[in-house]
Amino acid sequence: MRTKAVMEISMELPNVPGSLARVTEALAEANINIETICAIGRVAPNVALVTKQVPQAKAVLDKLGINYSVSELLKMVMPDEPGVLAQFSRRLADAGVNMNSIYILSKFRGETELVFSVDDPVKARETLNIHESVPP
């Protein structure tokens, strides 16, 4: 399994038509690429996105007056085979690391790329032998 750290920008948006369009249009106008995006919730959806252009995205969100937070996600590439995710999850559990979120970025040529957040990134890095990091 290969690993590295990436950053996630999370924000709550009003659950009305055009909220997401307003944000994504502003990011597009600033030529910011979104690598992945996830939205969960019905009343005030929590939108999480991953981009390599975090400082630029923060500037856009500041200009729009949107409250957001930036947190570290760990990214892993692992074989797309039965049991691999179970082994990965067990390693974290046995180390006492709680997983907060997880989602798949891509599947390609027998590999799955996913990102996840945990309650103890330092211990997760040690457990999974992650040596790369990106500061918040």
Q: What is the pLDDT of residues 22-42, one digit of tens each?
A: 999 999 999 999 988 988 887
Do residues 14 and 51 share a domain?
yes
Q: What is the pLDDT of residues 78-109, one digit of tens each?
A: 999 999 999 999 999 999 999 988 888 889 99
The CATH number given to whatever domain includes residue 111 is 3.30.2130.10
**Percent of the chain predicted with pLDDT > 70:** 92
Which of the four pLDDT bands, split at 50, 70 and 90, describes residue 1?
A: low
Burial of 101 (0-12, 13-18, 19+ CB in 10 A): middle
Q: What is the pLDDT of residues 38-48, one digit of tens each?
A: 888 877 789 99
Do residues 49 and 83 share a domain?
no
Do residues 90 and 54 share a domain?
no
- From 69, 87, 117, the end of a domain falls on 69
Query: How many domains does the structure of the chain reveal?
Result: 2
Do residues 124 and 81 share a domain?
yes
Domain of residue 58, residue span:
7-69
CB 28 within 8 A of CB 20: no
